[in-house]
Amino acid sequence: MPYREKKIEKLYYSIGEVSGMLGVPVSTVRFWENEFRILKPMKNKKGNRMFTSNDVKNLTIIHRFLKEEGMTIAGVKKKLSGKWDETGHVYEISESLKNIRSLLIELRDSI
C-alpha cells in the first residue's frame, strides 16, 4: 500500500478559503453566518472572519442541505433546530464512508 501523508488541518480558515471549499461566493458565507446562530467565526484585529474546522463542518452541512438537497433556509433551520450534534455525527459517518470509497477505488485502480 502506498505511503500516505496525514492531511494537514489548519486551526483557522479565512472566509475566502471557506468559500473556495464550498464553491460559493464570499457573500453567501456571510449571509449564512447571519442566518444560522451556530456559526460564530472569530474575528482578528482587522475584523477578518476566521472560521474553525467546526464552523467549516457546520457550513458544509448547511451547504449540503441548501444546494444538494434543495431545501430552503427556513427548512434547514427547522430540520436542524436542536439537532446539530446528531447531524454532525451523520456528517462524520458520511465523510468517513467517502474516504473509504476513495481508498477502495484507488486500490482497485492499482491492481
Distance of alpha carbon 25 from alpha carbon 109, whole angstroms: 35
Mean pLDDT across the chain, nearest whole number? 85
19-73, pLDDT tens digit by residue? 999 999 999 999 999 998 888 899 989 989 999 988 998 899 899 889 888 889 9
Amino acid sitting at position 24: V
Percent of the chain residues topping a pLDDT of 90: 34
- In 3D space, the residue among 11, 103, 13 whose CA is nearest the CA of residue 60 turns out to be 13
pTM of the model: 0.71
For the chain, domains (ranges, CATH) are 13-80 (1.10.1660.10)
Q: How far apart are CA 86 and CA 99, in angstroms?
A: 20
pLDDT in the model for residue 85:
65
Own/partner long-range contacts of 43-47 (Cβ < 8 Å, ≥24 apart): none
pLDDT at 3: 66
Q: What is the pLDDT of residue 38?
A: 86
Cα dihedral 27, 28, 31, 36 sign? negative
